[in-house]
Amino acid sequence: MAREEKDEKAVEEVPKKKKLPLKKLIIIGVAVLIVVTAGAVGTVYYKKYFNKKDQVEQQAPQGAIWPMDPFIVNIQDQGGVDRYLKIMIELDVSDKNCIDEMNQLKPKLRDNVLDLLSSKTYKDIIDISGKQRLREEIMLRLNSFLTKGKIVKVYFTEFVVQ
């Protein structure tokens, strides 16, 4: 009989699992459903409206950099001092197909840049605004020769005045 009482106590001591009320289960289920739906709608919205800009940027035609040989020219100075300018120029072109045209026109392009550089004085090119004006003048002059593309930016990779 003692064993039977122990078995009954053991059965009684096992706690019964509490079940969540049906209302709480429904509320939790609806909350999870709302979060999942909001995430899915947000993802679709992002892909539809914001991903197009990334695709357009990737499809934009890429230009190329065309380096010119170094230039060494005499520049004029007010004090009668002989000054020299050594400059290396690289041109950012709008279209890679423009490179072939520039290679064919290389003597004309170099001659035009040499004429421009040798006409400058020390005061014209020594400050930052003068260098920017020189970039713009080079770009305008060289773009007048090109038909397949255009020069977008002029870079000075070396600029030494002595």
pLDDT digits (tens, 9 = 90+) for 86-119: 999 999 999 888 899 999 999 999 999 999 999 9
Helix, strand, or coil here: 46?
A: helix
Question: Cα dist. 119→78, 111, 156 in Å?
Answer: 13, 12, 18
pTM of this prediction?
0.61
Listed range (38-42, 47-51, 118-122) with the worst mean pLDDT: 47-51
- Quick one: which H or E segment has residue 10? helix 2-13
Tokens of 8: 């009954």
> What is the distance between the alpha carbons of residues 54 and 93, in angstroms, rounded to a whole number?
22
Tokens of 141: 């002059």
Helix, strand, or coil here: 43?
A: helix
Helix, strand, or coil here: 97?
A: coil
Q: What share of the chain is helix, strand, coil (3-state, %, to 5)?
A: 55, 20, 25
Do strands 71-75 and 64-67 pair parallel, antiparallel, or not at all (unpaired)? Answer: unpaired
More confident of the two residues 26 and 60: 26
Q: How many residues does the chain have?
A: 162
Residues 157 and 118: beta-carbon distance below 8 Å = no
Look up residue 62 and give its amino acid: Q
Query: Does position 17 have pLDDT exceeding 80, yes or no?
Result: no
Listed range (45-49, 122-126, 141-145) with the worst mean pLDDT: 45-49
Backbone angles phi, psi at 87, to 5 degrees: -140, 135
pLDDT (0 to 100) of residue 60: 45
Helix, strand, or coil here: 80?
A: coil
